[in-house]
A = this chain, B = another copy of it.
Amino acid sequence: MLVFRDPQKLQRWALKQREAGVRVGLVPTMGYLHEGHLSLIAAAKKYADAVVVSVFVNPIQFGPNEDFEKYPRDEKADLAKCRAAGAAAVFLPTPQTMYAPDASVHVTEEVLANRLCGLRRPGHFRGVCTVVAKLFNLAQPNVAVFGQKDFQQACVIRRMVRDLNFPIRIVVAPIVREPDGLARSSRNTYLSETERQQAVGLSRSLHLAKRLFREGQTSAKRIVARMVKSLEADGLQVDYVEIVDAETLDPVKTVQKGNAVLLAVYDGKTRLIDNCLFS
């Protein structure tokens, strides 16, 4: 497995792969890899001959009061996991190698990014779009795999690919959950034992939403109200719960198959997100 720290070296290698007809897959991550990430690597291998995993805690997608500094990192374990998962290369840049001191170019998405998490985390998706555009240009992938866990992010990236004409197929892989239903997340390490127990409330509320819909409830307002009640009963502080069109992220009043329900809550001081599609 190749390990690249220098962006230019990754790019030279990637361009050679493309010229040689090798299909490159990219899995962009912030590291501290868990089963969720490994499922993305596995998905990428289905579409690509060589999978590049980028591990980069991207400073420009964190707000000033967010957890950039304390975000968990474990390079050694990440490398071992990528090797075991069959990655062809790992890209380990630093903020210094990724951003010139006078960097002044950003990629912005101005509709999908101004909802949900985007409203609560100003600049977050601008940071995401910018770093992903950079990673696309550096790793030259034919396909890039993102997790459904970050549902809004996947929508924004798909829109970026469409609007900037990146020749890249975007694959969104299903959420990987703990046995009790909690979506895998590097941020779960922040949780105390009590908080970890409360955290099952997120997936519980999603199950409730799906059950209500199956039983005939189509009022988004009523489903959301029941979910909020359930989340609060589980000791979680609701940031938002919304039912939206899965592509445009427009809020819906009457729930239909294919709509998505997205939620963000605080579990103690830790902000957790989760989502599912109505089927």
Interface residues of A in 201-228 (CB under 8 A from B): none
A100 contacts which chain B residues (CB < 8 A)? 162-163
Instruction: Count how many chain A residues have C-beta atoms less than 8 Å from C-beta atoms of the other chain.
Output: 35
A65 interfacial by beta-carbon distance below 8 Å: no
A102 and chain B: residue at smallest CB distance = B111
A109 and chain B: residue at smallest CB distance = B105
A164 touches B133 (CB 8 A): yes
B-facing mask of A100-119, CB < 8 A → 1, else 0? 10111111111110000000
B11 touches A137 (CB 8 A): no
B-facing mask of A17-49, CB < 8 A → 1, else 0? 011010000000000000000000000000000
B108 touches A167 (CB 8 A): no
B19 touches A159 (CB 8 A): no
A266 to chain B minimum Cβ distance, whole angstroms, is: 29
Q: How many copies does the complex hold?
A: 2
Q: Assuming A18-B18, A19-B19, A21-B19, is B164 touching A107 (CB within 8 A)? A: yes
A163 touches B105 (CB 8 A): yes
A7 interfacial by beta-carbon distance below 8 Å: yes
Among A21, A104, A109, A167, max chain B CB count under 10 A is at: A104
A162 contacts which chain B residues (CB < 8 A)? 100, 105
A194 interfacial by beta-carbon distance below 8 Å: no
A137 contacts which chain B residues (CB < 8 A)? 164-167
Q: What are 21 of the A-B contact pairs (CB < 8 Å)?
A: A11-B167, A15-B167, A99-B163, A104-B110, A104-B112, A104-B163, A105-B109, A105-B110, A105-B129, A105-B162, A106-B107, A106-B108, A106-B110, A107-B107, A107-B108, A107-B164, A108-B108, A134-B163, A137-B164, A137-B167, A140-B167
Q: A19-B19, A105-B160, A107-B108 are in contact. List 14 more A-B contacts (CB 8 A).
A: A7-B165, A19-B21, A99-B163, A104-B112, A104-B163, A105-B107, A105-B108, A105-B159, A105-B162, A106-B110, A108-B108, A130-B164, A133-B164, A134-B163
Q: Which 6 A-B pairs have the closest CB atoms?
A: A105-B163, A104-B111, A137-B165, A134-B165, A104-B110, A105-B109
Binding site for B on A (CB under 8 A): 7, 11, 15, 18-19, 21, 99-100, 102-112, 129-130, 133-134, 137-138, 140, 159-160, 162-167, 248
